[in-house]
Amino acid sequence: MSHAFDAASAASESAPAAPEPRVPGLLGAIDRTMKAINGVVMVFGGLALVGACLVLSYSVFVRYWLKEPTDWQDEMAVFLIVGATFFSAAAVQARRGHVAIEALSGLLSPRINRARLLMADVISIVFVTFFAWKSWSLFHEAWVDGQVSQSTWGPPLWIPYALMAVGMSFLALQFLLQIAEALNYGPRAAGWADPKVGLGSELNSETLKTSPHP
C-alpha cells in the first residue's frame, strides 16, 4: 500500500508541480466550467461545515447550560454536513483527493497502472451513476408524497435527497470528464500524473511524463 511518506511521495512533494495541461475544444470548455462550479461549491461546502459546527455548539450550549430541549439542531447539522459532503465530492475527485488504496501500483508497469486507473474510474462512474439515479428516485418520491422526517421538527425529506442527487450527479459528470480526458489527452489531463498522496513512483516516471498530452 502506498502512502504519503514513501520516497516517491517525498520527492514529488519537494519538486515543483508541473503546469496543468489545458484541454482544448469542447472538452476543455466543459472542464473549465466544472472547475468554476467546483470552486463555488467548495466555498459553500466550507460555509456549510462552519454552519454545522455553530449549530451543534449552540445545541450543546442550550441543552447543558440553559437546560432547554432542542428539536432541530441535530438534523440541521446533518443536512449541512450531507450537503457539504456530497456537493464537494466532485471537487475532491477533480483533484484526485479521495482516499485510495494502492497495493499493486509498485508491482505493475506504468502502462498497466494507467489501464488499472482507467478501469477504476469506469467502475466508479457506474456505481456513482446508480447512486445518483437512486437518489433522484428517492427525491421524487419524497417530493410527491410529501415525506417528512420522523422527528418533532419534521423537515421535508426531499432536502437531503436533493443534496445527495445533485452531488452524485456532479461526481458522475466529473468521472465522465476525466475518463474522456484520459482517453483523448493522456494521464496528465486526467490528473493521474500529479497525485496528491503517493500513488507510487511509477505514475511519475519518465514513461508517464512523455505520454501524449497537449
Give residue-wise pLDDT tens across range 90-145: 998 888 877 776 777 677 777 887 888 888 889 999 999 999 999 999 999 999 99
Nine-digit cell string for 81: 454536513
Query: At residue 84, does pLDDT exceed 50?
Result: yes
Query: At residue 86, does pLDDT exceed 90?
Result: yes
Residue with cell 417530493: 143
Least confident piece of the model among 116-120, 127-131, 156-160, 206-210: 206-210
Which pLDDT tens digit goes with each residue over 17-42? Answer: 455 556 667 777 888 888 899 999 99
Interior/surface letters 55-73, b for 16+ CB within 10 angstroms, e for the rest: bbeebeeeeeeeeeebeeb
DSSP H helices, the chain, are 7-14, 25-64, 73-87, 89-94, 110-145, 158-185, 206-209
> What pLDDT does 206 receive?
40
Give the relative orientation of helices 110-145 and 158-185 as an angle to the nearest 10 degrees.
150
Nine-digit cell string for 129: 451513476
Query: At residue 166, does pLDDT exceed 60?
Result: yes
Q: Span 153-181, mean pLDDT?
A: 92
> What pLDDT does 176 receive?
93
Q: How many CB atoms lie within 10 A of CB 10?
A: 12
44 — pLDDT class (breaks 50, 70, 90) = very high
How far is the first Cα of the chain from the last one, in angstroms, to the nearest whole number? 31
Query: CA-CA distance, 179 to 182, in Å (whole number)?
Result: 5
Query: At residue 68, does pLDDT exceed 50?
Result: yes
